[in-house]
Amino acid sequence: MSSYAITGASKGIGREFVRQLAADTGNTVLAIVRDPDSPNMSELASDHHNVHVIKGDVTDPKSILEAASAAAAITGGKLDVLIHNSNAVDMATMSSNPTEIPFDAQAVRAIFDPPLSTGIYGSLWTTNAFLPLIEKGIQKKIVHISSAMADLDLINNTGVSYAVAYSVAKAGMNVQVAKYAAELGPRGIKVLALSPGWVDTWEGGKPSQVVEAEKVMLKQFQAAEPELKGQIQPEESVRKCLQVIERLDAETSGLLLSHNGDKERWL
């Protein structure tokens, strides 16, 4: 009988966390989404009686505080595991290299704001809003879904020079995770940055530019992991992430780990 809250639960990895966790009918699963009325969410909640859909935007402190209050009303004020999974990026500049960042303050803010708002400010607000519930929970685990794109060895070994703002935000998230682990460790709370692997979460038909970009990425990633064949599916990523979360303890608190539970097999 455990309780889980997942942000960014409307699609991709977040929705797969909800699906797998809800399969255990003893779990209470709180799916935090920006649009609880979307057909996707109604379907998920009607298929699983232990799923509760809660409105929450991680980039809006008032909204995420209200989400934590709604969660507390459902669980009796406690929560075992918080999974902060939300992420946003400026897709138009994802392929830009650092030397292509323009000398234009407004344009640069537009590139950096989505990942910083979700990954940095959103991480802080979500963690702080749900902390009173986590303190009353049994497992006392907070997990931030990060990325190997913020691992310096992976960047240096693969030569991936693009996705600058995204990678910088995830690197900042990893530092915040270590800070939280240092502060909350004495209170028995474990905090982890977790990379889910390279996961195919594209919905609908993939445009040819995306297919081409993924071919380039595969070649680069193979420099670090020669056996890599391509992206994994959300089912595999989340199944492995849940095993890592299950094993999270005081020893691994504060780290960035892969879905394989190590600091080597990132993809």
Ligand X SMILES: NC(=O)c1ccc[n+]([C@@H]2O[C@H](COP(=O)([O-])OP(=O)(O)OC[C@H]3O[C@@H](n4cnc5c(N)ncnc54)[C@H](OP(=O)(O)O)[C@@H]3O)[C@@H](O)[C@H]2O)c1
Residue 253 CB, nearest approach to ligand X (Å): 19
Residue 174 engages ligand X in binding (rule: CB under 6 A)? no
Evaluate whether 173 touches 127 at the Cβ level (below 8 Å): no
Beta partners for residue 194, in sequence order: 145, 257
HSE of 144, CA atoms in CB hemisphere, 13 A: 38
Beta bridge partners of residue 193, listed in sequence order: 144, 256
Helix, coil or strand: residue 249: coil
- Judged by CB under 6 A, the stretch of 23-31, 197-205, 238-246, 251-259 that binds ligand X is 197-205
> CB 186 → ligand X: shortest distance, Å?
28
Nearest distance from residue 27's CB to ligand X, in Å? 20
Binding ligand X (rule: CB under 6 A), the pick from 3, 10, 27, 167 is 10
- Residue 126 near ligand X by CB under 6 A: no
Q: Which of 12, 21, 140, 168 binds ligand X (CB under 6 A)?
A: 12
Burial class from Cβ neighbours inside 10 Å (0-12, 13-18, 19+) for residue 171 reads buried
Q: Are 222 and 228 in contact (CB under 8 A)?
A: yes
Is 14 an interacting residue with respect to ligand X (CB under 6 A)?
yes
Q: Has 166 been annotated as catalytic?
A: yes
Burial class (CB in 10 A: 0-12, 13-18, 19+), 73: exposed
The yes-or-no answer on residue 2 being catalytic is no
Q: Which of 3, 50, 87, 127 binds ligand X (CB under 6 A)?
A: 87
Q: Whole-number minimum distance, CB 19 to ligand X, in Å?
A: 12
- How many other β-carbons are positioned within 10 Å of the β-carbon of residue 247? 12
When binding is defined by CB under 6 A, the residue of 3, 27, 86, 176 that contacts ligand X is 86
- Taking the complex as a whole, how short is the minimal distance between the CB of residue 16 and ligand X, in angstroms? 8
Indicate if 170 belongs to the active site.
Answer: yes
Partners of residue 83 on adjacent β-strands: 6, 143
Of 147, 167, 237, 253, catalytic: 147
Determine which one of 3, 117, 123, 166 is catalytic.
166
Which residues, numbered 31-60, are part of the site for ligand X (CB under 6 A)? 33-35, 57-59
Q: Which residues of 34-67 are buried (b: 16+ CB within 10 A; e: fewer)?
A: bebeeebbeebbeebebbbbbbbbbbbbebbbbb
Q: Does 88 bind ligand X (CB under 6 A)?
A: yes
What's at 230, amino acid-wise?
Answer: G
Residue 44 falls in which region: left (phi positive, over 0), alpha (psi -120 to 50) or beta: alpha
Asked whether position 133 contacts ligand X by CB under 6 A, the answer is no
Count, residues near ligand X per rule CB under 6 A: 25
Quote the least distance from Cβ 10 to ligand X, whole Å. Answer: 4
Can you give the binding site for ligand X, defined by CB under 6 A? 7-8, 10-14, 33-35, 57-59, 85-88, 118, 145, 147, 195-196, 198-199, 201
Q: Which residue numbers are catalytic?
A: 147, 166, 170
